[in-house]
Each structure stands twice: as structure tokens, then as C-alpha cells.
Amino acid sequence: MLGFTWPEICPNISVSVMGREGDYVDRNLKVIVEKHPDGYVAYPLGMKGVVVGEGDTYEEALADVKSAVRFHAETFGNSVFENESIVLEAFIAETAIAV
């Protein structure tokens, strides 16, 4: 057991981004949240490009990644969302490998 709960590993976030016709639409994304000794890092699944959020707390990292997703989509357009590969679930596994 890694000491994670499912919402901490991959919560859903909803982000309002500009649609094709200039109106805002909600996008639901799964986000990986990692706890490090110096804070939290969060990144969404199913996006093209690099989008990362950080914070001293879990909530700050989620808020930061939401802002980063919104900025990324407004800068590069809705094509940053992968339409064909919708992530239904994400899992973290640990294994030993002899090297």
C-alpha cells in the first residue's frame, strides 16, 4: 500500500474554457496529484502539451493546475484536449525490477 487514497491520486476537476463560438464550456479532467517533501504537484491527463500546477497544499496544487489548464487552452485553443483518448480511470502501481 502506497498510502494514497483514490481522490488524492486522480481527482476530477472541472474547468471552464472558451468554446468555438466564444462561449465558455466546462471540461472535466482527471488530475494526478503528487505529494513531495516540499509541497504538491498536479498535472492533468488527456491534454497535449505540458501543464503543471504546484502548491504547498493539495488544494493549492489543484487550484493552480486549473488555472494552468485554462491558460493553456486559451493560449493554444481547444485542440489541446485529446478528444480520442478520454481517461476513464488511472491507477498507480508499484513493482520491483531486478537490474
pLDDT digits (tens, 9 = 90+) for 22-62: 666 677 788 888 889 999 999 888 888 889 999 999 999 99
At 92, is the pLDDT very low, low, confident or very high (cuts 50, 70, 90)? Answer: confident
User: For the chain, what is the mean pLDDT?
Assistant: 77
- The residue with greater pLDDT, 46 or 8, is 46
* pLDDT at position 7 over 60: no
Q: What residue has cell string 463560438?
A: 21
Q: What is the pLDDT of residue 20?
A: 61
Q: Check residue 78 and report its DSSP letter.
A: G
CA distances from 79 to 36, 92, 95 (A): 31, 27, 35
